[in-house]
A and B are shown apart, each in its own frame.
Chain A
């Protein structure tokens, strides 16, 4: 019976190899007086075997092999510029949301539809017809990026298509939360309206630091400060909500 159910490949961010007692996190937003863990009943702590399946990639920088520090993370590439209120149906039309990325093939399928819901006046497509990867690794947006549905297909399709980070003026909360939870794309906030300052195809670099970050547009020569990731920092640092909860001792670590 289990064979009829698609199984997700094991995602094993390297932060999980650390024991929770040695994990340091920069901002203790939660202080626990005891590590009470809540364990799903009948789960065997050693039931997780090794996986040879494809690992769902996390949005990590090229040189960083662990998610332990947001600082020292850099993204570099071409940017794709959008304006305000890009809703989830524009990011991934609802009809394409029947897939769920349980394997690489369906990830590729959903990637092919990334931002395909944009009206036709967007002459430059994020993903060219017939392809499933974008040449733009950084998306620049205006206000309320990702508004609309709670479907995780939105950040997932962007990540699957090769986007690494988004720099928007502001986000809709469910999309922001899903980006953090899945680790598919880093949702960063600018202090000014960078969507008016950059054009699709500009080469940009994003360097994150403890206090936020810097977006440099090499094509125009200008740079822009980015806001600190805020409360989501420790969750992203840890590698997502599951890794964070393991680090907190709230759910058992993988064997």
Chain B
């Protein structure tokens, strides 16, 4: 009964972390077990000695330190402590889905919970069509229609709909790439648990939250219950210090790291990024860093929230949140340190994100096109960077250069914001002067190939330098296409030379 369940508090105090194989005997959360002082009952069910408030410090027990991710998951599972390996049921704060996976996820939800079932919380689900939007493919169009029906039926508050495919600007609700939209619309908050039916959901970890990608079946489960079964991951720590060189971007940092640890180097683990360089990064740069955590196999990426984070978030949401930070005595399963001031622009050569090479060592590689876009490299700052380099160079591109802003807002920024140092020109003007293609309708575009009529899809075995996130065979369309992953600076420089190029050729 209630009193005895409080006294048997072995799950609450003094959790031993020495047994690595111990998967964690976890009581299913009952509010009475979270902390002693909340156990007061109004009716007397038994007589017991008065319970003093016994915080761990006063008992002399050793407080086990937790990493940021462990803390977020502990709180979300209503436990005071979790250790890597624990299988826990976690409360979900936000579930995101898009046009490709949404229909499947909702289909499974209805199959398992019934045709009349209602989602666990219509305000915690964000539906963002973005993958296959501007296409004549009937199935792709059908997916958006299906999501509209589900959202209507379930009264989903956040559905960024698009009905006029011929003119994206005619759709006031439409946003574009889900991971960028989530941030821009204020759905990313420190300390929360965000899941999405897309592998790059890990992008949101830039905000100091637990964010990871899940499949349709898991999403269907979350739709009905608001919970998910997760195994607590151990954390790998990456400390990046040193002043960021003017020609280096977050994309170079993450390509450097993935090249270091390989595409499976972080499998089932958290990648936690900290250090003075990280602190100097803008939110968009932090998003780029966390975006490619999945390319190293990582479960989630995370960056401690600071003034930069709070400033961004507080301007976009009024939902209260509570950031958490890794304890000083937390355990990390690996520690990597980088002196960023010594790093150089890098690319990932075909056909793997870990096939790292210095950009300057690839300058003999002739290229056929350049693609600037996606959640990884299609944000406002990415276009600003490319424009800055084009302006500094004062030349025209030598190969077709495709520009796909991630969201409507990014598209508008490209056309409205002045590029520093250019005398008031916008990105769009600079791109036009450099001979780039006109910025296209915002979506995921050709990052993942898509239906045959997708803008900028690789339909021939060409060589492309791209600011996107994966370059496995066939990723952008043609199986023999060769994709070099790069930063916006490197992509712009390559467009100007017609070869893979180090941006220092134009920025120094």
User: Could you name 29 residue pairs across A and B whose Cβ atoms are closer than 8 Å?
Assistant: A5-B106, A6-B107, A7-B110, A7-B115, A11-B111, A32-B28, A36-B29, A40-B119, A47-B115, A85-B263, A89-B448, A89-B474, A95-B449, A95-B477, A98-B139, A98-B143, A101-B104, A148-B472, A149-B199, A149-B448, A150-B197, A151-B215, A152-B104, A152-B216, A231-B231, A242-B112, A242-B221, A251-B113, A251-B224
Q: How far is the CA of A16 from the CA of B295 in the complex (A)?
A: 37
Q: How far is the CA of A42 from the CA of B118 in the complex (A)?
A: 6
B214 to A44, Cβ gap below 8 A?
Answer: no
Per-position contact with B for A236-247: 1 when CB-CB < 8 Å, else 0? 000011101100
B117 to A152, Cβ gap below 8 A?
Answer: no
Closest 7 CB pairs of A and B: A32-B28, A150-B213, A178-B215, A98-B139, A181-B217, A152-B215, A8-B111
B452 to A95, Cβ gap below 8 A?
Answer: yes
A117 to B474, Cβ gap below 8 A?
Answer: yes
Q: How far is the CA of A174 from the CA of B212 in the complex (A)?
A: 9
Residues on B with C-beta less than 8 A from A2 are 115, 153
A93 to B221, Cβ gap below 8 A?
Answer: no
Residues on B with C-beta less than 8 A from A117 are 473-474, 479
Q: B451 on the interface (CB 8 Å rule)?
A: yes
Residues on A with C-beta less than 8 A from B241 are none
Q: A182 on the interface (CB 8 Å rule)?
A: yes
B479 to A173, Cβ gap below 8 A?
Answer: no
Q: How far is the CA of A145 from the CA of B452 in the complex (A)?
A: 27
Q: B306 on the interface (CB 8 Å rule)?
A: no
Residues 116-158 of A contacting B (Cβ, < 8 Å):
117-120, 143-144, 147-152
A181 to B149, Cβ gap below 8 A?
Answer: no
Question: A1-B149, A32-B27, A152-B101 given as contacts; is B451 within 8 A of A98 (CB)?
Answer: yes
Question: A231-B23, A241-B221 given as contacts; is B216 within 8 A of A148 (CB)?
Answer: no
Residues on B with C-beta less than 8 A from A189 are none
Residues on B with C-beta less than 8 A from A181 are 215, 217-218, 221
Contact of A178 among B139, B217, B449 (CB under 8 A): B217
Q: A48 on the interface (CB 8 Å rule)?
A: yes
Residues on A with C-beta less than 8 A from B145 are 4
B149 to A38, Cβ gap below 8 A?
Answer: no
Per-position contact with B for A26-54: 1 when CB-CB < 8 Å, else 0? 00011111111010111110011000000
Q: A250 on the interface (CB 8 Å rule)?
A: yes
How many chain-A residues does the 8 Å CB contact rule pick out?
Answer: 69
Q: Given A5-B106, A181-B218, 6 other A-B contacts at CB below 8 A?
A: A5-B150, A8-B108, A89-B472, A90-B472, A173-B267, A241-B221
Residues on A with C-beta less than 8 A from B80 are none
A241 to B264, Cβ gap below 8 A?
Answer: no
Contact of A41 among B26, B118, B198 (CB under 8 A): B118
Residues on B with C-beta less than 8 A from A241 are 217-218, 221, 229
A31 to B472, Cβ gap below 8 A?
Answer: no
Q: How far is the CA of A242 from the CA of B219 in the complex (A)?
A: 11
Shortest CB–CB separation between residue A241 and chain B, in angstroms?
A: 5
- On B, residues with C-beta under 8 Å from A are 5, 23, 25-30, 33, 87, 89, 100-101, 103-104, 106-108, 110-120, 132, 137, 139-140, 143, 145-146, 149-150, 152-153, 197-199, 201, 213-218, 221, 224-227, 229, 231, 263-264, 267-268, 294, 297, 299, 352, 448-452, 470, 472-475, 477, 479-480
Question: A4-B149, A29-B87, A87-B470 given as contacts; is B116 within 8 A of A44 (CB)?
Answer: yes
Shortest CB–CB separation between residue A243 and chain B, in angstroms?
A: 10
Q: A102 on the interface (CB 8 Å rule)?
A: yes
Residues on B with C-beta less than 8 A from A214 are none
Q: How far is the CA of A93 from the CA of B470 in the complex (A)?
A: 13
Q: How far is the CA of A41 from the CA of B224 in the complex (A)?
A: 9
Q: How far is the CA of A29 from the CA of B85 in the complex (A)?
A: 10
Q: How far is the CA of A29 from the CA of B263 in the complex (A)?
A: 30
Residues on B with C-beta less than 8 A from A120 are 479-480
B218 to A93, Cβ gap below 8 A?
Answer: no
Q: A177 on the interface (CB 8 Å rule)?
A: yes
A30 to B449, Cβ gap below 8 A?
Answer: no
B217 to A182, Cβ gap below 8 A?
Answer: yes
A34 to B197, Cβ gap below 8 A?
Answer: no
Shortest CB–CB separation between residue B301 and chain A, in angstroms?
A: 14
A150 to B199, Cβ gap below 8 A?
Answer: yes
Q: A172 on the interface (CB 8 Å rule)?
A: yes
Q: A94 on the interface (CB 8 Å rule)?
A: yes
Q: A100 on the interface (CB 8 Å rule)?
A: yes
Residues on B with C-beta less than 8 A from A93 are 449, 474
Q: How far is the CA of A203 from the CA of B267 in the complex (A)?
A: 31
Shortest CB–CB separation between residue A160 and chain B, in angstroms?
A: 13
Per-position contact with B for A61-98: 1 when CB-CB < 8 Å, else 0? 00000000000000000000000010101100111011
Question: Considering only CB atoms, which chain A residue lies closest to B228 in the complex?
Answer: A241
Shortest CB–CB separation between residue A6 and chain B, in angstroms?
A: 6
A36 to B28, Cβ gap below 8 A?
Answer: yes
A98 to B140, Cβ gap below 8 A?
Answer: yes
A99 to B87, Cβ gap below 8 A?
Answer: no
Shortest CB–CB separation between residue B286 and chain A, in angstroms?
A: 21
Residues on A with C-beta less than 8 A from B197 are 150
Residues on B with C-beta less than 8 A from A211 are none
